[in-house]
Amino acid sequence: MRAVCTIVLLLLAASASAQQVAIIANRSVPADSLSQREVLDIYSGDVRTWKNGVPVVPFDLSQDGVVRDTFYEYLGKKSSRMKSIWMKNLLMGECQPPRTVDNEIKLLDQVSATPGGIGYLSLQSVNDSVKVLTVIAGSPAPD
Amino acid sequence: MQFRHWKLGVKFTVAVGVVFALMAAGNLWSMSVILSLKSDLDDVSRNWMGRIIAISEINRSTADLRMRQLRYVASDSLAVLQEQGAEIITLIDQINNNRDTYEELRRISTRKPADSLYEWGLYDAFDRNWDAYQTDILSVIQSKLVGGALQTVIIGSDPPGDIFDSIRVSLNKLVEINKSYAVKAADAAEARLQAFRVASEILLIGSILMSGVFTIVIVRLITRPIRKLVAAAGQVADGELDVRLDIDSRDEIGNLAASFNVMTRALRDSRDRSVRQSAELQRQHSELQAAHLGLASQKDETDRANRGLADALHKLREAQEELLMKEKTAFLGQLVAGVAHELNNPAGALMSADDVSRRILNRLQAINAQRPEATAEVAPLIKSLENNLEVSRTAAERIRDIVSSLRSFARLDEAEVQQADIHQGIDSSIILLGTEVPNRITMTKNYGDLPRITCRPAQLNQVFYNILRNAVDAIEGQGAIAISTETDGDFALLRFSDSGRGIPADRLQQVFGFTLGQGAGRVRMGSGLIASYSIIQQHRGDIAIESTEGVGTTVRIRLPLGRS
| Residue of chain B with shortest Cα separation from A95 | B142
Chain B residues within 8 A of A86 when measuring between CB atoms: 138
Q: Could you tell me which of A62, A74, A50 has the C-alpha nearest to residue A131?
A: A50
Distance CA B536, CA B530 (A): 10
**What region, left, alpha or beta, does residue B550 occupy, with left being phi > 0 and alpha being psi -120 to 50 degrees?**
left
Instruction: Among A79, A91, A92, select the one facing B131 at the smallest CB separation.
Output: A79
Q: Which of A61, A83, A89, A92 to mutate to test the interface with B (most CBs of B within 10 A)?
A: A83
User: In this predicted structure, what is the pLDDT of residue B524?
Assistant: 42
Distance CA B297, CA B310 (A): 19
Instruction: Among A62, A80, A86, select the one facing B127 at the smallest CB separation.
Output: A80
> Do residues B542 and B558 make contact, with C-beta atoms less than 8 angstroms apart?
yes
B141:A90 CB<8 A: yes
Distance CA B169, CA B59 (A): 9
Shortest Cα–Cα distance, B23 to chain A (Å):
51
In sequence order, what DSSP letters do the residues of B474-488 get, joined into one string?
Answer: H--SSEEEEEEEEEE
Q: What ipTM score was computed for the predicted complex, to two decimals?
A: 0.83
Instruction: Among A64, A92, A97, select the one facing B138 at the smallest CB separation.
Output: A97
Chain B residues within 8 A of A61 when measuring between CB atoms: none
User: In this predicted structure, what is the pLDDT of residue B193?
Assistant: 87
User: In this predicted structure, what is the pLDDT of residue B483?
Assistant: 95
> Do residues B502 and B550 make contact, with C-beta atoms less than 8 angstroms apart?
yes
In sequence order, what DSSP letters do the residues of B298-342 get, joined into one string?
Answer: HHHHHHHHHHHHHHHHHHHHHHHHHHHHHHHHHHHHHHHHHHHHH
Distance CA B301, CA B417 (A): 38
> Do residues B441 and B481 make contact, with C-beta atoms less than 8 angstroms apart?
yes
Helix (H) or strand (E) holding B89: helix B78-108
pLDDT per residue as tens, chain B (564 positions): 677 788 888 877 887 787 788 778 878 888 888 888 887 787 777 888 888 999 999 999 999 988 888 888 888 888 888 888 889 999 999 999 999 999 988 888 766 666 678 888 999 999 999 998 888 888 888 887 776 666 676 665 556 678 888 899 999 999 998 898 888 888 888 888 898 889 888 888 987 888 788 788 878 878 888 888 899 999 989 988 888 888 778 888 888 888 999 999 999 999 999 999 899 999 988 988 888 888 888 888 888 888 888 888 888 887 787 777 667 766 776 777 778 778 878 888 888 888 898 898 888 888 888 888 877 888 888 888 888 888 888 888 888 888 777 777 766 545 678 888 999 989 988 888 877 667 788 889 999 998 998 888 888 888 898 899 888 888 888 899 999 999 988 899 999 999 988 888 777 766 665 444 454 434 344 545 777 887 888 889 998 888 888 889 999 999 998 765
User: In this predicted structure, what is the pLDDT of residue B115?
Assistant: 63
| Residue of chain A with shortest Cα separation from B134 | A83
List C-alpha distances in Å: A13 to A1, A9, A20, A69, A71: 18, 6, 14, 20, 21
Shortest Cα–Cα distance, B92 to chain A (Å):
7
**What region, left, alpha or beta, does residue A63 occupy, with left being phi > 0 and alpha being psi -120 to 50 degrees?**
beta
Instruction: Among A64, A87, A92, select the one facing B138 at the smallest CB separation.
Output: A87
Distance CA B553, CA B496 (A): 8
Distance CA A32, CA A26 (A): 10
User: In this predicted structure, what is the pLDDT of residue A11?
Assistant: 57
User: In this predicted structure, what is the pLDDT of residue B377?
Assistant: 82
Distance CA B155, CA B162 (A): 13
Cα B475 from chain centroid (whole Å): 80
Q: Radius of gyration of chain A from Cα atoms?
A: 17
Q: pLDDT tens across B303-354, in order? A: 888 888 888 888 888 778 777 766 776 677 677 777 877 887 888 888 888 8
Q: Is B556 helix (H, G, I), strand (E, B) or coil?
A: strand
By the CB < 8 Å criterion, does A52 face chain B? no
| Residue of chain A with shortest Cα separation from B131 | A80
Three-state DSSP string of chain A: CHHHHHHHHHHHHHHHCCCEEEEEECCCCCCCCCCHHHHHHHHHCCCCECCCCCECEEEEECCCCHHHHHHHHHHCCCHHHHHHHHHHHHHCCCCCCCEEECCHHHHHHHHHHCCCEEEEEEHHHCCCCCEEEEEEECCCCCC
Which residues on chain B place their C-beta less than 8 Å from a C-beta of chain A? 85-86, 88-89, 92-93, 95-96, 99, 127-128, 130-131, 134-135, 137-138, 141-142
Chain B residues within 8 A of A88 when measuring between CB atoms: 89, 92-93
Distance CA B427, CA B154 (A): 217
User: A105: number of CA atoms within 13 Å, CB side?
Assistant: 0
Distance CA B278, CA B271 (A): 10
A83:B138 CB<8 A: yes
Q: What is the DSSP letter of B413?
A: G
List C-alpha distances in Å: B335 to A83, B323, B340, B393, B411: 186, 17, 8, 26, 12
User: In this predicted structure, what is the pLDDT of residue B70?
Assistant: 84
User: In this predicted structure, what is the pLDDT of residue B110?
Assistant: 65
List C-alpha distances in Å: B224 to B7, B227, B247: 16, 5, 10
Helix (H) or strand (E) holding B543: strand B542-548
- Strands of A117-122's sheet in order across: A99-101, A57-61, A117-122, A20-25, A131-137
Q: pLDDT tens across B66-81, in order? A: 888 888 888 888 888 8
All residues at 6 or more sequence positions from B125 whose CB lies less than 8 Å from its CB, including other chains: B166, B170
Taking the alpha carbons at both ends of chain A, their separation in whole angstroms is 25
A87:B92 CB<8 A: yes
Chain A 80-99, CB below 8 Å of chain B: which residues? 80-81, 83-84, 86-88, 90-92, 96-97
User: In this predicted structure, what is the pLDDT of residue B519?
Assistant: 47
Shortest Cα–Cα distance, B47 to chain A (Å):
23
Distance CA B367, CA B203 (A): 190
Q: Radius of gyration of chain B from Cα atoms?
A: 84
Helix (H) or strand (E) holding B509: none
| Residue of chain B with shortest Cα separation from A89 | B89
Using a pLDDT cut of 90, give the percent of chain A over it: 27
Longest C-alpha distance within chain B, in Å? 259
pTM: 0.47
Residue A4 has pLDDT above 70, yes or no: no
